[in-house]
Structure 1
Amino acid sequence: MSISPDELNKLRKEIDQIDSELVNLLARRAQVTTKVGQYKSQAGLPIYVPEREAELISKRRAQAEEQKVSPVLVEDLLRRIMRESYQTQHVDYLCTNPAIKKIVVIGGAGALGRVFVDMFTRSGYQVDVLEKDDWPDAEQIFSNAGLVVVAVPIKLTETTIEQLTALPTECILADITSTKEKPLLAMMKAHKGPVVGLHPMFGPDVSSLVKQVVVICHGRQAEDYQWLMEQMRIWGAILQEVEAKEHDDAMVFIQVMRHFCSFVFGSHLASANPDLQRLVSLSSPIYRLELSMVGRLFAQNPALYADIIFDNRDSLVRLTEFSDKFTQALNLVEKGDKGEFIKQFFKVGEWFGDYSKQCLTSSKKLLLKADDDRSITAKK
């Protein structure tokens, strides 16, 4: 069946009208979710409730199937809409411990420190910030503090903690450094009261803490900082409790090796000096994503990544092991031994197990988003 230009224009206008209605519906939904956020704040309920989200998606997927609409499409739309709705709920939060007279964030003017200053302030706490020029007034700033958070660069963390020998006994001492064993030991030595190590697994560019992981490494008197953990849950954070050594061992693989590999790849690209824009234009979504993750590293503070890579006690051992493994794999290429390569490929696949299949599924969603972004760029 052929369609005339006039009929095509009518269909396009109809699509425009439907799209306009969708925007109006999204505006209405945002108004409702804002009210939900206000209620949660008053009631002390967490912004993110996994069970509620799963139930909502399940129902809408079933509805989509009944109406012959792709349930995958509906789920993708809903997850994007819900991510936005969490931002509309990012208002003020219930204060879980009104008895706390003051919170002090050392380094609160820094990038990540500001995130916590903002969250504590939104939760109704009095928050003071201590920077390097404020140390002459430290005694007065720390007086009546119920929580002191060390939010300084890794290389300054231990020396900063060593100065905290005169905090109020009942005060909670915490840090948000990406290594945990040494800072936790330093805090336990400097302060006789409650101590806890925190590692926010996110950067300062987050718009909220919904679904963001915060690692908890217990130090001393955990019962005294349960309110702090509950406060972070109300913010929407997902708390993972581990021993400090287990944390640091895991960070070698999660942070050190990943950042180091990105650094080396980026360094090699800069040395080889290919046409970067040409590489991007020739890449499929998955390669563009991988290249983006490398490029992202070099848009950030190099001192932060140097501290992460150099200050973990196991960095050199693990990176040397990786170098050996790289050399072994390179030898297979030099010898043209595809059979051994395939054999090892299967062996690694067995180690990943079902997780590799999960990665295949979840990565498809990322690739679709990357493909959408390329279309937008092309139109510009």
Structure 2
Amino acid sequence: MNEKTTADLEQLRDLIDGVDKQLLNLLRKRLDLVAQVGAVKHAAGVPIYAPQREAAMLAKRRAEAESMGISPQLIEDVLRRLMRESYLNEKDVGFKQVKTDLGHVVIVGGEGQLGQLFGQMLSLSGYEVKTLDKDDWMNAKHLFDGAGMVLVTVPIKVTCDVIRTHLTQLPSDCILADLTSIKGEPVQAMLDAHQGPVVGLHPMFGPDVGSLAKQVVVVCHGRDEHEYQWLLEQIQIWGARIVVAEPQNHDSAMQLVQAMRHFSSFVYGLNLCKEQADIDNLLQFSSPIYRLELAMVGRLFAQDPELYADIIFAQQGSLVAISDYLENYQEALTLLKSGNREAFVEQFKQVAQWFGDFAPQFQHESRAMLQSVNDMKVG
């Protein structure tokens, strides 16, 4: 570049730096306003996530952006990222306590990551939280005395044994709940062990979420629903969405949503390992969608193997779902080996028809995710 070009670029870059500083000041002002909103919501017990308000605001900003010659998707991307930060900040001021006369909460397995998360959320809502871990059973009688709720979050393989062995002498009005990712056996075990209120919960997220805004908690009703209705309201105040399901329907869905998906990721990672694939080299040639897929597989292996073994081995029905997947894979492989391209195209069309309107919806949703993945690439 010649000297004039260099000077012109430096001048423009200085102007951009000035605008960036203004943006930072505006962001700081917005976060301060969000903190004030959070304080008002805390006092009123308003959920931190308001989907109708968010949708209306985004639609308005998109229209305004378009009228200014700015990409509507750009302003939506920026605002969604800001809102995510806002949800993280809003919980710092705490939440309204729905049930003020509950008594203390005992979290069995409270030293685990999910137990710590729910302990934090309950504490932020003003509840007294006590933890009971595997070496604390000698103190259990004292901890359970006067408890308003006992929340079980222990490994799946020992959940029912813990309930049947240790949770049969709770106060009669105490709520017994669990956070296990299967629901049939644990809910029945709680109903058998405890004569008071019982509810099964399954948080459809990991313990590393910064906020419960937009997350899903599945609820399987057990007994005396009116006694724990406050808990569902409290979870909604945290920003989560409640989905009610029968335990058996939930478990059937989890065979596909969790067990088969995690097992498929395990096998994919196992295959890469046995092939001694060069991940650095794969990333050099990766499209955004492959990078995202590889990231989701890698994410699995960054976590606790015992947890995922529990999820995959927990239900006998998972073996059926995984076996069906293998049979379909083998049939598709046979089709590939036969060289029957026309049959492949026909099956592709059949599956696309089965997906229906979900296919273009998922294409739209994934486009934004893929753009984010591409933005994060370095070099």
> Match for residue 54 of structure 2?
53
Deviation at 1:65, TM superposition (A): 1.3
Which of 179, 200, 203 is equivalent to 2:203? 200
Which of 115, 121, 125 is equivalent to 2:123? 121
For residues 27 and 214 of structure 2, the distance between their equivalents in structure 1, rounded to whole angstroms, comes to: 22
Deviation at 1:43, TM superposition (A): 0.8
Structure 1 stretches lacking a partner, 5+ long: none
Q: Deviations over 1:275-334 (max 9, x none)?
A: 111001110111000011111101100111111111123111111111111110000111
Task: Report the residue type matching 1:31 in the other structure.
Answer: D
Task: Report the residue type matching 2:323 in the other structure.
Answer: T
How high is the TM-score relative to the length of structure 1?
A: 0.97
3-state SS of the aligned residue for 1:90? helix
> Match for residue 243 of structure 1?
246
3-state SS of the aligned residue for 2:107? strand
3-state SS of the aligned residue for 1:314? helix
For residues 274 and 303 of structure 1, the distance between their equivalents in structure 2, rounded to whole angstroms, comes to: 25
> Match for residue 7 of structure 1?
8
Deviation at 1:224, TM superposition (A): 0.4
For residues 371 and 318 of structure 1, the distance between their equivalents in structure 2, rounded to whole angstroms, comes to: 34
Task: Work out whether 1:66 is the aligned partner of 2:67.
Answer: yes
Alignment of 1:68-147 (within 5 A): 68-91=69-92, 92-147=94-149
How high is the TM-score relative to the length of structure 2?
A: 0.98
Task: Work out whether 1:20 is the aligned partner of 2:21.
Answer: yes
Share of identical aligned residues, percent? 49
For residues 5 and 119 of structure 2, the distance between their equivalents in structure 1, rounded to whole angstroms, comes to: 61
For residues 137 and 19 of structure 1, the distance between their equivalents in structure 2, rounded to whole angstroms, comes to: 57
> Match for residue 358 of structure 1?
361
Aligned length: 375
Task: Work out whether 1:158 is the aligned partner of 2:160.
Answer: yes
Q: Deviations over 1:198-235 (max 9, x none)?
A: 00011111111111110000000100000000000000
> Match for residue 370 of structure 1?
373
Which of 286, 291, 301 is equivalent to 2:289? 286
For residues 232 and 110 of structure 1, the distance between their equivalents in structure 2, rounded to whole angstroms, comes to: 20
3-state SS of the aligned residue for 2:202? strand
Say what the alpha-carbon RMSD is for the aligned residues: 1.0
For residues 369 and 137 of structure 1, the distance between their equivalents in structure 2, rounded to whole angstroms, comes to: 49
For residues 299 and 281 of structure 1, the distance between their equivalents in structure 2, rounded to whole angstroms, comes to: 22
For residues 331 and 132 of structure 1, the distance between their equivalents in structure 2, rounded to whole angstroms, comes to: 50
Alignment of 1:266-345 (within 5 A): 266-345=269-348
Deviation at 1:366, TM superposition (A): 0.7
For residues 4 and 134 of structure 1, the distance between their equivalents in structure 2, rounded to whole angstroms, comes to: 71
Structure 2 stretches lacking a partner, 5+ long: none
For residues 322 and 277 of structure 2, the distance between their equivalents in structure 1, rounded to whole angstroms, comes to: 27
3-state SS of the aligned residue for 2:91? coil
Alignment of 1:24-39 (within 5 A): 24-39=25-40
Deviation at 1:5, TM superposition (A): 2.6
